Amino acid sequence: MQNASENCYASFVPKPKVKVERRSGCPLNASVEMLGDRWSLLVIRDMMVRGCRTFNEFLQSDEGIATNVLTDRLRRLEAHGIIASEPDPSDRRRLIYTLTPKGIDLASVLTEMVLWAARHEKTGNQAMVHALQKNREGVLAQIWERWAASVRTIAS
């Protein structure tokens, strides 16, 4: 009975099939189709910068994502191979989300978006902006190191 219960909870977020047919062969179009909404980018940001790994951690983000929207974005990002999930070893009803190599590869893209927005708009989190302006490569290296450490933790 316990195995059936664990399997039921571990699969509470079904893996939808993603239509791989694109509107065009343009690489920018492919990017927009995978990431083209603010919520997907903010989920990725929260994983990279804030270390979010669980559904409830994502819900605590300042932007206030709705649960149904978060569920949809997590499914989409996983279907596109940007994030992966696996049951939490301490509570198999919960899923732990991690960036895949494809997902962490977006770190430099998000960094450039942050710097672009800071140049053209009044934005918050000036400490991060200044750190990126001063030492972009160092900040990116820290993001990659945290990601590698989290992947090692999950694998062990």
Q: Check whether 110 has a pLDDT greater than 80.
A: yes
> What are the residue boundaries of the structural domains of the chain, listed by start?
2-155
Q: Which two tokens stand for residue 63?
A: 């932007």
Look up the pTM and report it: 0.79
Residues 6+ apart with CB under 8 A from 67: 59
Q: What is the pLDDT of residue 28?
A: 86
Q: Check whether 12 has a pLDDT greater than 80.
A: no
Q: Which two tokens stand for residue 60?
A: 């605590």
Q: Check whether 18 has a pLDDT greater than 50.
A: yes
* DSSP letters for 83-147: EEEEEETTEEEEEEEEE-HHHHTTHHHHHHHHHHHHHHS--S-HHHHHHHHHHHHHHHHHHHHHH
Q: What is the pLDDT of residue 10?
A: 40
The torsion angles phi and psi of 103, rounded to 5 degrees, stand at: -70, -45
The torsion angles phi and psi of 97, rounded to 5 degrees, stand at: -100, 140
Please say whether the structural domain 2-155 has been given the CATH code 3.40.630.10.
no
Q: What is the pLDDT of residue 19?
A: 54
What is the radius of gyration, based on Cα positions, of the chain?
17
